[in-house]
């Protein structure tokens, strides 16, 4: 080793030892008579000290040539500091330098290597290797390592076996777009990169592996958003001879273990909620339940407190639904306008927002006073009362009119916005719950056909199988479940189909011809004929889980070398053109 | 859970408990009055028992419909067996069945699901999910899991951080052929799949990660052999502020830990050998040192005991080199012919083999008696004597003439063959050693240029840097090392270049123009300017390491879903054609 110690470990008990340290020059302070250098590595910072008249002149001179981020080696005696620094663990000592050398000089970095940097996103991505030197970024990746380690620890203890499944697999048109890989040895043919190891883990269950997991890279060629990457990592799991309840318990156990190990937190109760409940009361299949603010319906299939008063906006829609914002009755006109603008943004798309102020003095004031009497409004306020959302004088009721789930999703956005404004979404507080009983299928208007909401291997609930026969496909609930933490879907899965006939039926419902089903998934249906056990599983989005643990919204901060929104790695400048020789060998041409 | 216990855990202390088991019917024996069923899962086999007159008739009838590999659920009472089976851990008990149901029937498998199967390679690969049910195959994958787990344990304890590096990277022409991935979002451009995370792990060192590892999939589009797969797994490691000695010690520690944890074995001394020594005495850069049988030179740059006797075969070559096979003086004519045929096989390519029998009575008999006197032969035998290879009466000396390292490589094959024949290569015995001081460069006759023997990032030994100036490039030794166990290269690595100028020089020596170097590796050379620490590392071939631990030559046996020699997965039938829609989106055409 070029060093005897790292920069995070020296303490008072090392005093009088001669040590050699290596690292990066964080900063250098030259006070004329004294020079102090902060030497940094992954483990910490140690202060080096040089003294005019005592330290040999050539060493003093050399030390004055050091710029930020120079890589140096320093030998000296550990001494007690006169003025101690209690902000760093090595703050009680410093090194009285006797030897010094430059291992590698450094150009001035294009941005500050500090916790708070002056570098923008683009420059930090181009020089990601410098960005990774910064404490917060490195800590994110160390956190990621801890989460992986604790995951393996739990699953190993529960008899899961990690099995690597192939990366070069077969393209299947169902689901998102595949990345493909031309095969040189099989000209005209392509591998695909897996969107998940789904079929392989099911085959491992057919093989009797009983409990499988893998922390594994997956790939989706989708248009990217801030929280999407073309390559991402999953904690992928599958179990045999289980029912849904077993999966929920097993992985509630995992998430609880991760919180204890990584965050030192007891997660508390992991509650359960049906999809139907989540949509009705939160307008989302991944509600953030750190705060309550449940929806109250003024008009729906079950209730109508608004129609027939000549207010055409409410008369012409099938759903009027609102939330109660505690203590916001005094919101200013400006604040109300902000909220209206918020829900009218094209990403949300509400037509407008109606409010009802429940003033502190008990009076009611709405934006639709023209149509509704004080008596009418009182009925509304009562609907938001004790049982429903505990609306009281001083609160503000925000109402959106619209069409079923569409307006509910709009109101969900408003609810989250109000949660933010009212400080109800503390990233240091965690609330986890399962959403269960998802619909098996959803209708795609555009393609005029049914799609699997989860994937084609998800099993319907036995009691809903009758709707397969009656054709009421939208009524079929699936044995499918998502784990939601703080409004983020961190994982999801299902109990799988394990019978060939049912799987074939499902492909047919999804519009596969028999030939297409056989061509794409014949191996799986064959496997089901040779003794497939009942099985199910789930996958966690590992990047997202890490960002949640790190209290950040961006998964990119938890990936060592992420890609930008155009799928580019700007550091290595990839993707890039390849040689004609390569194209010729692969027997492909580009047609751009 | 659909079961209360698994099939491997019931013992005498469970007697009188009512249990429910699930699993696969391994076999069923119907003795008229009694029926026994062996129920199998990953954990073991438990015997179920049904009795005419006691077990309800419908259960008996149902049990008679079970074929091999049916998936069933069985409930009953744990009872002590009358005739115990000490070959299985559950052999003292059996289950007196009270309930029975079929979870999934099974067609008759196309081959026997037994330790010894009747299925050939092709059918087992097509039905790999059935092959994986067999004990030896599943055990291989469980072993693989253990090796990974023990690897992580060791490296975690040594402060290594596992960091995931990207799979979609940039194609670089140096080295083996890349798999490429067309980018839809960047038409005409391609990602490449990594042959190793080499540059990324070096960047992590520049970032100050200090100690990195990753168990990671890598990809090479090469023509395949039995021990090669297009996708394979590496244990990839890198350290900063170290010298070669530190790497050797750290990873000798890892391999020792793996042997203790996984095999329960003390590996013994891990010796060291220079590349020059390995080539001179074993004709291989990965000698199997479980047995001695070192080469002895009869003609070389240093010695000549054979020329000038009118034997043109020896006169016309620069190297005559042989081995001593202990106790083989009595080899028959047939055996000698077999060996001659062996070395003449095109894969080996020797012109012929000369032998010298050192008979038990001390007399010498060679295949070239016409040219060499008893006196000459005595000199040869002495050359093979005490110090060199301990040749004694009763031994057989086998000699090959030829050209430098070419003939040495031929003799290496013969040495290994003799090792096999003499039972000196026991797969249960392990001998590990480092081969160090590899040449930095090797000359490619075909391309008439120098190639990096390891890769372009390997650093030359400081004392050999002078040859960079003199142009004697073949003389430069690298700080590169391989770990060899039982003649298998299980890992290798190097101390890296970390200075921009030297890296640029190296690219230039390898025939890169400045522009090519900048275009392909500019990011790395830039990184070296911003404070790169001295660093180095290595990678282990994880599949090969597992096969070594499993005592097998084939890595395929240790991969869940391997590809065949044409790079095909015959189970899922991949690679395959893709939709024109996909090709259009990717802006590529196939030209087959």
* First and final C-alpha spacing in chain A: 52
Residues of B numbered 390-409 whose beta carbons fall under 8 angstroms of chain A's beta carbons: which are they? none
Q: Are residues B160 and B89 in the same domain?
A: no
Chain B partners within 8 Å of A560 (Cβ): 163-166, 200, 204
Average pLDDT estimate for B2-22 = 98
Bond from prior residue into B33 cis (ω within 30 degrees of 0): no
Could you tell me how far CA B111 lies from the centroid of its own chain? 28
CB A144 within 8 A of CB A558: yes
CB A267 within 8 A of CB A255: yes
**pLDDT surpasses 90 at B268:** no
| End-of-domain residue from the set B82, B104, B126 | B104
Q: Would an 8 Å CB–CB cutoff place B165 in contact with chain A?
A: yes
Chain A partners within 8 Å of B567 (Cβ): 168, 183, 185-186
Q: Are residues A508 and A537 in the same domain?
A: yes
Q: Would an 8 Å CB–CB cutoff place A162 in contact with chain B?
A: yes
pLDDT in tens, chain A (592 residues): 999 999 999 999 999 999 999 999 999 999 989 999 999 999 999 999 999 999 999 999 999 999 999 999 999 999 999 999 999 999 999 999 999 999 999 999 999 999 999 999 999 999 999 999 999 999 999 999 999 999 999 999 999 999 999 999 999 877 789 999 999 999 999 999 999 999 999 999 999 999 999 999 999 999 877 678 999 999 999 999 999 999 999 999 999 999 999 999 999 889 999 999 999 999 999 999 999 999 999 999 999 999 999 999 999 999 999 999 999 999 999 999 999 999 999 999 998 999 999 999 999 999 999 999 999 999 999 999 866 778 899 999 999 999 999 999 999 999 999 999 999 999 889 999 999 999 999 998 888 899 999 999 999 999 999 999 898 999 999 999 999 999 999 999 999 999 999 999 999 999 999 999 999 999 999 999 999 999 999 999 999 999 999 999 889 999 999 999 899 999 999 999 999 999 999 999 999 8
CA separation for the pair B238, A142 (Å, rounded)? 16
Q: Would an 8 Å CB–CB cutoff place A560 in contact with chain B?
A: yes
Q: Are residues B158 and B264 in the same domain?
A: yes
pLDDT of amino acid A553 = 85
Average pLDDT estimate for B159-167 = 98
Average pLDDT estimate for B441-452 = 91
Q: Is B542 a member of any domain?
A: yes
CA separation for the pair A58, B341 (Å, rounded)? 70
- Which residues share a beta bridge with B232? B218
pLDDT of amino acid B226 = 65
Closest CA to A535 of A250, A306, A205: A205
- CATH number of the structural domain spanning residue B300: 3.30.1360.30
Q: Are residues B519 and B555 in the same domain?
A: yes
CA separation for the pair B68, B94 (Å, rounded)? 19
Q: Are residues A374 and A439 in the same domain?
A: no
Mutate to test the interface with B, among A109, A140, A191 (most CBs of B within 10 A): A191
Chain A partners within 8 Å of B224 (Cβ): 185
Over residues A104-119, the pLDDT tens digits come to 999 999 999 999 999 9
CA separation for the pair A5, A22 (Å, rounded)? 8
**Residue that the structure tokens 């589009």 belong to:** B221
Chain A partners within 8 Å of B106 (Cβ): 529-531
- Reduced to 3 states (helix: H, G, I; strand: E, B; else coil), residue B381 is helix
Q: Would an 8 Å CB–CB cutoff place A105 in contact with chain B?
A: yes
Average pLDDT estimate for B40-63 = 96
Q: Are residues A305 and A396 in the same domain?
A: yes
Print the domain residue range for A191.
137-272+432-559
Chain B partners within 8 Å of A204 (Cβ): 129, 132, 560
- Joined together, the tokens standing for residue B56 give 């309800």
Beta-carbon pairs below 8 A across chains A and B: 359
> Pseudo-torsion of CA A158, A164, A165, A166, nearest 10°?
170
**pLDDT surpasses 70 at B315:** yes
Residues for chain B: how many in total? Answer: 592
Q: Would an 8 Å CB–CB cutoff place A1 in contact with chain B?
A: yes
* Closest residue to A530, CB basis, from B69, B162, B208: B69
CB A147 within 8 A of CB A549: yes
Read off the DSSP letter of residue A177: P
CA separation for the pair B196, B496 (Å, rounded)? 15
- Joined together, the tokens standing for residue B244 give 């070669």
pLDDT of amino acid A592 = 82
B204–chain A nearest CA distance, Å: 7
Mutate to test the interface with A, among B181, B567, B577 (most CBs of A within 10 A): B181
* Closest residue to A71, CB basis, from B221, B246, B533: B533
**Residue that the structure tokens 């951080």 belong to:** B161
pLDDT of amino acid A386 = 66
Q: How many CB atoms lie within 10 A of CB A394?
A: 16
Q: Would an 8 Å CB–CB cutoff place A112 in contact with chain B?
A: no
Chain B partners within 8 Å of A3 (Cβ): 241
Q: Are the Cβ atoms of B533 and A104 closer than 8 angstroms?
A: yes
Q: Would an 8 Å CB–CB cutoff place B9 in contact with chain A?
A: no
Interaxial angle between packed helices A244-258 and A135-157, expressed in degrees from 0 to 180 and rounded to the nearest 10: 140
CA separation for the pair A85, A89 (Å, rounded)? 8
Q: Is B220 a member of any domain?
A: yes
Read off the DSSP letter of residue A458: B
Q: Are residues B437 and B407 in the same domain?
A: no
Q: Is A497 a member of any domain?
A: yes
Q: Are residues B378 and B462 in the same domain?
A: no
SS (H, E, C) A321-390: EEEEECCCCCCCHHHHHHHHHHHHCCCCCCCCCEEEEECCCCCEEECCCCCCCHHHHHHHHHHCHHHHHC
CA distances from A451 to A195, A440, A495, A499, B499 (A): 17, 9, 18, 20, 56
pLDDT of amino acid A446 = 87
Count of domains observed in chain B: 3
Q: Is A583 a member of any domain?
A: no
CA nearest to A133 within chain B: B207
CA separation for the pair B108, B130 (Å, rounded)? 11
Q: Would an 8 Å CB–CB cutoff place B138 in contact with chain A?
A: yes
CA separation for the pair A93, A25 (Å, rounded)? 17
Q: Is A582 a member of any domain?
A: no
Q: Tell me what the pLDDT averaged over chain A comes to.
A: 95
**pLDDT surpasses 90 at B115:** yes
Residues of B numbered 227-256 whose beta carbons fall under 8 angstroms of chain A's beta carbons: which are they? 230-231, 233, 240-243, 246
CA nearest to B526 within chain A: A127
pLDDT bracket for residue B385 (50, 70, 90):
confident
* Closest residue to B572, CB basis, from A23, A169, A566: A169
Read off the DSSP letter of residue B474: G
Q: Would an 8 Å CB–CB cutoff place B222 in contact with chain A?
A: no
pLDDT of amino acid A492 = 97
- Joined together, the tokens standing for residue A421 give 């404004």
**pLDDT surpasses 90 at B427:** no
- Joined together, the tokens standing for residue A268 give 């508390």
Report DSSP letters for A182-237, one per residue: E-SSSTT-EEE--S--HHHHHHHHHTT--EEEEEEEEE------TT--SEEEEEEE
Q: Are the Cβ atoms of A141 and B132 closer than 8 angstroms?
A: no
Q: Is A260 a member of any domain?
A: yes
Q: Are residues B260 and B152 in the same domain?
A: yes
- Which residues share a beta bridge with B46? B39
Q: Is A297 a member of any domain?
A: yes
- Number of helices (H), then strands (E), belonging to chain A: the values are 16, 23
- Joined together, the tokens standing for residue B270 give 């891990």
CA separation for the pair A25, A39 (Å, rounded)? 5
- CATH number of the structural domain spanning residue A238: 3.30.930.10
- Reduced to 3 states (helix: H, G, I; strand: E, B; else coil), residue A281 is helix
**pLDDT surpasses 80 at B361:** yes
CA nearest to A523 within chain B: B572
Mutate to test the interface with B, among A109, A564, A578 (most CBs of B within 10 A): A578
**pLDDT surpasses 80 at B196:** yes
CB B156 within 8 A of CB B139: no
pLDDT bracket for residue B592 (50, 70, 90):
confident
- Joined together, the tokens standing for residue A363 give 């009076």
CA distances from A88 to A335, B35, B108, B210 (A): 44, 73, 68, 20
- Joined together, the tokens standing for residue A473 give 């496909």
A245–chain B nearest CA distance, Å: 8
CA separation for the pair A419, A412 (Å, rounded)? 10
Chain A partners within 8 Å of B132 (Cβ): 203-204, 207-209
CA separation for the pair B334, B317 (Å, rounded)? 28
Q: Are the Cβ atoms of A563 and B166 closer than 8 angstroms?
A: yes
CA count, 13 A, side-chain hemisphere, A482: 21
pLDDT bracket for residue B228 (50, 70, 90):
confident
CB A355 within 8 A of CB A322: no
Identify the helix (H) or strand (E) that includes residue B482.
strand B480-485
Q: Are residues A166 and A222 in the same domain?
A: yes
Q: Are residues A395 and A309 in the same domain?
A: yes
- Which residues share a beta bridge with A355? A398
Q: Helix H segments across A372-463?
A: 374-383, 404-421
Is the ipTM higher than 0.85? The answer is yes
B133–chain A nearest CA distance, Å: 5
Q: Are the Cβ atoms of B561 and A200 closer than 8 angstroms?
A: yes
- Joined together, the tokens standing for residue A380 give 């509304």
Closest CA to B204 of A548, A145, A542: A145
Q: Are the Cβ atoms of A590 and B149 closer than 8 angstroms?
A: no
**Per-residue b/e over B530-552, b at no fewer than 16 CB within 10 Å?**
bbbbbbbbbbbbbbbbbbbbbee
Burial of A524 (0-12, 13-18, 19+ CB in 10 A): buried
Q: Would an 8 Å CB–CB cutoff place B210 in contact with chain A?
A: yes
Q: Is A232 a member of any domain?
A: yes
CA separation for the pair B480, B460 (Å, rounded)? 9
Q: Are residues B240 and B308 in the same domain?
A: no
Q: Would an 8 Å CB–CB cutoff place B499 in contact with chain A?
A: yes
């Amino acid at each position: 080793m070029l060093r005897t110690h790292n920069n995070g470990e020296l303490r008072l008990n090392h005093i009088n030892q001669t040590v050699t340290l290596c690292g990066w020059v964080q900063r250098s302070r030259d006070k004329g008579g004294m020079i102090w250098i902060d030497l940094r590595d992954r483990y910490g910072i140690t202060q080096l000290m040089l003294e005019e008249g005592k330290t040999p002149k050539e060493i003093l001179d050399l030390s004055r040539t050091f710029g930020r981020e120079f890589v140096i080696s320093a030998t000296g005696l550990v001494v007690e500091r006169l003025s101690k620094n209690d902000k760093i663990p090595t703050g009680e000592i410093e090194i009285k330098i006797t030897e010094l050398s430059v291992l590698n000089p450094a150009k001035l970095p294009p941005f500050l290597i500090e916790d708070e940097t002056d570098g923008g996103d683009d420059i930090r991505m181009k020089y990601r290797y410098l960005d990774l030197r910064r404490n917060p970024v490195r800590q994110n990746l160390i956190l990621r390592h801890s989460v992986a380690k604790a995951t393996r620890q739990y699953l190993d203890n529960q008899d899961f076996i990690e099995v690597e499944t192939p990366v070069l697999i077969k393209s299947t048109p169902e689901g998102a777009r595949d990345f493909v890989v031309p095969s040189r040895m099989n000209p005209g043919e392509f591998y695909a990169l897996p969107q998940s190891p789904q079929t392989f883990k099911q085959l491992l269950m057919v093989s009797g592996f009983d409990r499988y997991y893998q922390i594994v890279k997956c790939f989706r060629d989708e248009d990217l958003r801030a929280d999407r990457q073309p390559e991402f990592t999953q904690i992928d799991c599958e179990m045999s001879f289980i029912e849904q309840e077993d999966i929920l318990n097993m992985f509630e156990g995992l998430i609880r273990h991760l919180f204890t190990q990584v965050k030192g937190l007891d997660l508390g109760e992991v509650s359960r909620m049906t999809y139907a409940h989540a949509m009705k009361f939160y307008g989302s299949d991944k509600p953030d339940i750190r705060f309550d603010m449940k929806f109250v319906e003024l008009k729906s299939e079950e209730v109508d407190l608004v129609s027939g008063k000549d207010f055409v906006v409410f008369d012409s829609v099938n759903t009027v639904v609102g939330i109660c914002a505690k203590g916001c009755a005094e919101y200013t006109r400006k604040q109300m306008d902000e909220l209206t603008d918020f829900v009218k943004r094209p990403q949300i798309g509400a037509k407008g927002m109606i409010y009802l102020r429940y003033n502190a003095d008990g009076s009611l004031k709405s934006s639709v006073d023209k149509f509704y009497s004080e008596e009418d409004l009182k009925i509304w306020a009562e609907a938001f009362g004790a049982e429903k959302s505990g609306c009281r004088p001083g609160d503000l009721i925000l109402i959106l009119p619209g069409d079923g789930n569409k307006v509910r999703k709009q109101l969900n956005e408003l609810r989250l916005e109000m949660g933010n404004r009212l400080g109800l979404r503390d990233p240091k507080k965690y609330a986890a719950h399962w959403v269960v009983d998802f619909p098996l299928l959803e209708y795609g208007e555009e393609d005029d056909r049914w799609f699997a909401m989860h994937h084609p291997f998800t099993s319907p609930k036995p009691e809903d199988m009758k709707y397969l026969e009656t054709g009421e496909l939208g009524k079929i609930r699936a044995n499918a479940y998502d784990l939601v933490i703080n409004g983020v879907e961190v994982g999801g899965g299902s109990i799988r189909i394990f019978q060939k006939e049912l799987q074939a039926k499902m492909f047919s419902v999804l519009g596969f011809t028999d030939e297409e089903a056989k061509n794409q998934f014949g191996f799986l249906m064959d496997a089901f004929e040779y003794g497939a056990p009942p099985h199910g599983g789930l996958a966690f989005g590992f990047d997202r889980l890490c960002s949640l643990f790190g209290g950040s919204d961006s998964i990119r901060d938890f990936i060592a070398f992420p890609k930008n929104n155009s799928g580019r790695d700007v550091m290595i400048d990839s993707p890039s053109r390849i040689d004609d020789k390569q194209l010729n060998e692969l027997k492909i041409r580009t047609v751009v």
